[in-house]
Amino acid sequence: SINIEIPILVNRTQTAVFQIRNMGNSEQTFELDTGSFVGGTDFTVSPLLSVTVPPGANVTQEVTVTALNSARADGLYSFDIILLRGGLEFDRSDVNIQIQQIHRIDLSTTDALDAIPGEVVTLQVEAENLGNLREIGNLSFDTPLGWTQTTTAFDIEPTSIISDLEISLTVPALTS
């Protein structure tokens, strides 16, 4: 089997190299095809062409896999490279794909708050998951000494937006 890890780069592409060996005593021409995808169609595969292999020789071939934006790091993906001769299956090899993990949540707010000492203010926050994994956590901020806050739990899928997160901050009261 062939294992490919696709790093999340600008082009989200990885190439795997494999060999075809002709152990016979005559030249053979093989067609290459891809079998069905397991785990979804969140990637594309370069077209595979036919290859002619001299007797007793090895020929190196490449397959290029590109992860689409919908590919998740927690998904299990694979497909087969099928070697055909005369339209009949001669051999096959599994290609397992692992998508590199990306953890990224962008937070934003349009709130502008004014508060007086001792007051509790509530901030509306929007979270967008730009990564490729489900994220579960708590929203909180670093606050100055003496301030208190609530934390808000969230559970967000990739490419999703949660627009109703709230966090309350208590401004410390003045001491005399």
DSSP code per residue over 40-105: -S-EEEPPP--EEE-TT-EEEEEEEEEE-TT--TT--EEEEEEEEETTEEEEEEEEEEEEPP---E
Beta strand 2-6 with 88-99: parallel, antiparallel or unpaired?
parallel
pLDDT, tens digit (0-9, with 9 covering 90-100), for 118-139: 999 999 999 999 988 999 999 9
The model's pTM is: 0.70
Residue type at 81? Answer: I
- pLDDT tens per residue across all 176 residues of the chain: 455 555 555 567 888 888 898 999 999 999 999 888 888 777 888 888 899 999 999 999 988 888 887 888 888 888 888 999 988 998 888 888 888 888 999 999 988 888 899 999 999 999 999 988 999 999 998 888 888 999 999 999 999 999 999 999 998 988 86
Query: In this predicted structure, what is the pLDDT of residue 38?
Result: 86
Query: In this predicted structure, what is the pLDDT of residue 153?
Result: 95
Q: Cα 155–156–159 angle (5° rounding)?
A: 180
Q: Which residue has the tokens 């707010």?
A: 109
